[in-house]
Structure 1
Amino acid sequence: MIRDATLADLPAIAALYGREVLSGTATFEMDPPSLAEMTARFEAVRAKGLPWLTAEIDGAFAGYSYASPFRPRPAYRYAVEGSIYVEETARGHGVGRALLSALIDRARELGLRHIIGAISDSATSQASIALHQGLGFGRAGTYHQVGWKFDRWIDVHLMQFDLGPAGAPPTAPGIDLTGGLA
């Protein structure tokens, strides 16, 4: 089940993200953020009118996804970056696909134009790259050896999903980068 995340989900979200910070390369943070910091991040995303979703399997937390502004400049107000984190025990059960599909649907409903995926570490992220490609994301480029974590250089692969026809004008005002949707 995919639903809007609530404040009650934040302890599980913070725990999952904290484990990824400490042992994974999906994020380049080095220290797990506190629950208060994760709450502030959650509230900032929601204040912009963007989705933060939670996945459950049989009532148990299985992962989360959210969309955040791609860049802080006004010309980027039609693009978001999607982030997805899935509990290790829920991987391989369609949770990532359900979260990303729901994120795409929400971005389309908001009249956005692009979702950007930044997938780090090609050595361990082939499943994430395949998931994005399977849902229609195209490769947009690679930042080579841009992150240093766990005593090694890590690449970041950029993928892009186009929500609207190429060259078509915007159908909505986009994200108000100082508040909610414009």
Structure 2
Amino acid sequence: MTNVEIRSATEADLPAITEIYEHAVLTGTATFELIPPDLAEMTRRFESLIEGAYPYLVASLEGRAVGYAYAGPYRPRPAYRFTVEDSVYLQPAIHRRGIGTQLLQRLIAECEARGYRQMIAVIGDSANAGSIGVHSRTGFAMIGTHSDVGFKFGRWLDTVMMQRALGEGATTLPETP
């Protein structure tokens, strides 16, 4: 594994995060967005997650953000309030160096510390072996595939659904406010 600093993201990281995500939108199938959001939109999304007290992390090598991960609400209805959905993106040059696994492990720990009980991964493209592998290595189980639900780059794409219990999962009742 690569020795990388994993820390909370700041607004100063957003230009690098925007660049990483732009590449993913324009060249990959991990996201089903077709037009990359600009820095203003990425800032709005970041602020919304931070205001909601969700973790947003960055992986830094030599002081430069090379990857990021965050958790956000799985669904807006209140019954889902103990379930989060994760996202992890990396610069292409640092794939297969263990950084995605490190980011996801830290994200899991941060979500557990906040009292979340389930994490859902919605993985774009059933051929996305890298993301499926990272999620499998960090304890996620396959829960299903939505076939042919996205259309990008002239072809139909699946989404793979994976899930992992956080903390005590569903073995105990959560503390409710």
Q: TM-score, normalised by structure 2?
A: 0.94
Alpha-carbon RMSD: 1.1
The answer to whether the 8 Å contact 2:147/2:158 transfers is yes
Q: Residue 70 of structure 1 aligns with which residue?
A: 74
Match of 1:176 in 2: none
Q: Percent identity?
A: 47
Equivalence for 1:157: 160
1:57 aligns with one of 58, 61, 73: 61
Q: Letter of the aligned partner of 2:73 in structure 1?
A: P
SS at 1:127 equivalent: helix
- Cα deviations across residues 88-140 of structure 1 (Å, max 9, x unaligned)? 111111110110001000000001011100111122x1121111111110111
C-alpha distance 31-165 of structure 1, shift in aligned 2 (>3 A) = closer
1:14 aligns with 2:28: no
Deviation for aligned residue 1:37: 0.3
Look up the match of 2:151.
Answer: 148
- Structural mapping, 1:1-182, within 5 Å: 1-123=5-127, 125-163=128-166, 164-171=168-175, 173=176
Instruction: Name segments (4+ residues, structure 1) moved above 6 Å.
Output: none
Q: For structure 2, list consecutive stretches of 5 or more residues without a partner in the other structure.
A: none
SS in 1 for 2:15: helix
Secondary structure in 1 aligned to 2:49? helix
Contact in 1 for aligned 2:14/2:43 (Cα 8 Å) = yes
Q: How many residue pairs end up in the alignment?
A: 172
Verify the 8 A CA contact 2:117 2:170 in the aligned structure 1. Answer: no
3-state DSSP of counterpart to 1:72: coil
CA contact (8 A) 2:16 2:66 kept: no
**TM-score normalized by structure 1?**
0.91
Give structure 1 stretches of 5+ with no counterpart: 174-181
